[in-house]
């Protein structure tokens, strides 16, 4: 995987102005031939699982915020329903955070990355869990 800006800069360095699919394909081939970029490696199954857990946590937190927003102006008739939903979401958020911690604890590579990230001042547990999922192997 290559940043498209690199290909564009390479094309500008060649003074190439043609913009067609065929010329773009040739430009990408010339770039790869001359620059030899590293091959893309898919994320490990452990990282893919962490990504899924982090995405789920993001979705749950978003749903919780939507429920809180609805609760603000809610009629007394529907308030108990929204409060029940909030309690359920809180339980799911806590369970998902726990699953993320356990997943990281049980995988030596992720645990090592977490320990390294934990040495950086200002990074908390939430950010430390998200970075390996978002950035992969850095």
| Residue 49 within any structural domain of the chain | yes
Give the single-character DSSP code of 20: S
pLDDT in tens, 47-106: 999 999 999 999 999 999 999 999 998 999 999 999 999 999 999 999 999 999 999 999
Domain that holds residue 8: 4-35
Task: State how far the Cα of 121 lies from the Cα of 39, in Å rounded to an integer.
Answer: 32
Which residue pairs from 14-21 have beta carbons closer than 8 angstroms and sit at least 24 positions apart in sequence?
A: none
| Same-domain check for residues 69 and 120 | yes
| Coil, helix or strand at residue 3 | coil
Q: How many residues does this entry show for the chain?
A: 138
| Same-domain check for residues 61 and 120 | yes
Question: How high is the pLDDT of residue 137?
Answer: 66
Split into its structural domains, the chain has a count of 2
Task: State how far the Cα of 115 lies from the Cα of 120, in Å rounded to an integer.
Answer: 10
| Residue 100 within any structural domain of the chain | yes
| Residue 74 within any structural domain of the chain | yes
| Same-domain check for residues 50 and 73 | yes
| Same-domain check for residues 89 and 122 | yes
| pTM across the whole model | 0.74
| Same-domain check for residues 57 and 31 | no
Helices (H), 1-138: 4-13, 21-35, 45-72, 79-106, 108-118, 125-135
Q: Cβ distance 48 to 133 under 8 Å?
A: no
| Residue 40 within any structural domain of the chain | no
Question: How high is the pLDDT of residue 85?
Answer: 97
Question: How high is the pLDDT of residue 102?
Answer: 96
| Same-domain check for residues 64 and 82 | yes
pLDDT in tens, 2-25: 888 888 888 888 887 888 889 889
| Residue 25 within any structural domain of the chain | yes
Residue 44 scores a pLDDT above 70 = yes
Q: What is the CATH number of the domain that holds 125?
A: 1.20.58
């Amino acid at each position: 995987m290559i940043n498209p800006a690199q290909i564009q800069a390479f094309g500008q360095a060649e003074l190439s102005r043609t913009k067609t699919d065929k010329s773009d394909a040739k430009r990408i081939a010339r770039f790869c031939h001359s620059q030899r970029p590293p091959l893309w490696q898919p994320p490990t199954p452990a990282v893919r699982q962490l990504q899924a857990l982090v995405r789920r946590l993001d979705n749950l937190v978003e749903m919780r915020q939507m429920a809180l927003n609805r609760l603000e102006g809610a009629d007394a008739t529907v308030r108990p329903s929204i409060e029940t939903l909030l309690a359920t979401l809180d339980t799911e958020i806590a369970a998902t955070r726990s699953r993320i911690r356990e997943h990281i604890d049980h995988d030596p590579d992720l645990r090592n990355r977490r320990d390294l990230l934990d040495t950086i001042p200002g990074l908390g547990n939430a950010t430390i869990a998200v970075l390996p999922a978002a950035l992969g192997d850095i």
